[in-house]
Amino acid sequence: AQIMSRGLPKQKPIEGVKQVIVVASGKGGVGKSTTAVNLALALAANDSSKAVGLLDVDVYGPSIPKMMNLKGNPELSQSNLMRPLLNYGIACMSMGFLVEETAPVVWRGLMVMSAIEKLLRQVDWGQLDYLVVDMPPGTGDVQISVSQHIPISGAVIVSTPQDIALMDARKGAEMFRKVHVPVLGLVQNMSVFQCPKCKHRTHIFGADGARRLARTLDLDVLGDIPLHLNIRETSDTGQPIVFSQPESDEAKAYLRIAAEV
Ligand code: ADP
């Protein structure tokens, strides 16, 4: 609200970046960062001529360093811009590269905004076809600020099929519409669990919640990602599934979503 009252900052594209896709969620822990990472890898895998970057503006809880198995301080270019770190062919920038891993990230309002501005403006991306942005969860100042600073091609909203996550996802979709960011659609994460032993399928968080929400909000469902141990393990060990197990059904689910955005 504070940002709104200061008036709209002038939107300026990030130099060298053709399309910005933000990945957002109403609440934490629904798989937003996992989706952002695998979506970035899938965009690159679907078309090897495309250059893809990943920007982590989840300044309170950056996950990209761990998920992309990266750490270290970015070098500065001649024009004093930060150079992204590279892994699996994806250029990455994260608050996690700029602060000690153990440092408590107790950013107060203004510090967060200056950190965001640094991440949006002081990175030398070179030429990118897609920049995937991992947003913080929720609908706060950071999300609004990012939407006001740079032109965004579209938002992907991640939710589990559970009522509570969906209520928050709805708020997210409504916020993006208010700031004129097109919502590309919903990703329903953890929708089905298949027992690796008996192959029985269980809808742990409900079956079709995101689909129903999508219908009421007139949004597309971009795809379903199953709840799967391999997604958790690969994500948490910095070997994202689209990179490490591209032939798996789980990776294919992300590749299909990337083909939709
Ligand atoms: P968020 O960014 O929404 O907080 P994360 O992407 O960090 O969520 O995911 C939270 C946890 O759930 C992580 O440990 C991640 O590996 C795991 N996870 C995410 N999606 C799946 C999935 N489809 N199947 C299994 N585990 C998942």
Reported confidence tier of residue 50, pLDDT bands at 50, 70, 90: very high
Answer whether 25 contacts ligand 1 (Cβ < 6 A): yes
What pLDDT band is residue 101 in, cutting at 50, 70 and 90?
A: low
DSSP string, 17-44: EEEEEEEEESSTTSSHHHHHHHHHHHHH
Tell me the Ramachandran region of residue 62: left when phi exceeds 0, alpha when psi lies from -120 to 50, beta otherwise: beta
pLDDT, tens digit (0-9, with 9 covering 90-100), for 56-97: 998 888 899 999 999 989 999 999 999 999 999 999 999 889
Q: Is the CB of residue 32 below 6 angstroms from any atom belonging to ligand 1?
A: yes
Nearest atom (ligand 1) to Cα of 225: 23
CA distance 37 to 21: 12
Q: Which of 1-5, 179-183, 221-225 has the lowest mean pLDDT?
A: 1-5
pLDDT of 107 reads: 56
What's the CATH code of the domain at 132? 3.40.50.300
CA 34 to centroid of ligand 1, rounded, Å:
6
For residue 62, the enclosing domain spans 2-8+15-260
H or E stretch at 112: helix 109-121
Check residue 208 and give its pLDDT.
Answer: 77
Please tell me which residue, 67 or 200, carries the higher pLDDT value: 67
Any atom of ligand 1 within 6 Å of the Cβ of 63: yes
The predicted complex's ipTM stands at 0.99
What is the reported pLDDT for 91?
Answer: 98
d(CA 122, CA 98) in angstroms, rounded, equals 12
> Widest CA span of the chain, in angstroms?
58
SS3 state of residue 92 = strand
Determine whether the shortest distance from the Cβ of 160 to ligand 1 is under 6 A.
Answer: no
CA geometry: angle 44, 50, 55, nearest 5 deg: 65
Please answer whether residues 152 and 184 qualify as being in contact, where contact means their C-beta atoms are separated by less than 8 angstroms: no
Q: Is the CB of 159 under 6 A from ligand 1?
A: no
Confidence of residue 5 (pLDDT cuts 50, 70, 90): very low
CA dist., res. 121 & res. 10, Å (int): 13
232 C-alpha to ligand 1 centroid (Å)? 6
Q: Quick one: what percent of the chain has pLDDT higher than 70?
A: 92
CA 223, chain centre distance (Å): 15
Instruction: Centre a 10 Å sphere on the Cβ of residue 13 and count the other Cβ atoms it contains.
Output: 11
CA-closest residue to ligand 1 atom 22:
227
What average pLDDT does this structure show over 2-12?
A: 59
Task: Give alpha helix (H) positions in 122-240.
Answer: 141-149, 163-178, 209-217, 229-236
Section 167-172 average pLDDT: 85
Q: What percent of the chain has pLDDT over 90?
A: 60
Residue 3: predicted pLDDT: 47
Distance 231 CA to ligand 1 centre (A): 8
CA–CA gap between residue 245 and residue 155 (Å, rounded): 26
Tokens representing 45? Answer: 């895998």
Residue 233 CA: nearest ligand 1 atom is: 16
Total domain count, the chain = 1
Among 83, 42, 92, smallest CA distance to 65 is for 92
Q: Which atom of ligand 1 is nearest to the CA of 36?
A: 6
Task: State pLDDT tens for residues 122-147.
Answer: 999 999 999 999 999 988 888 988 99
* For residue 2, pLDDT beyond 70: no
Q: Which token pair is 191? A: 């929708």
Q: What is the pTM of this model?
A: 0.92
CA of 51 to the centre of ligand 1 (A): 25
Residues 6+ apart with CB under 8 A from 87: 68, 69, 70
Structure confidence by residue, pLDDT tens digits, 147-169: 999 999 999 999 998 877 788 88
Centre of ligand 1 to C-alpha 29, Å, is 6
The response to whether residue 38 sits with its C-beta less than 6 Å from ligand 1 reads: no
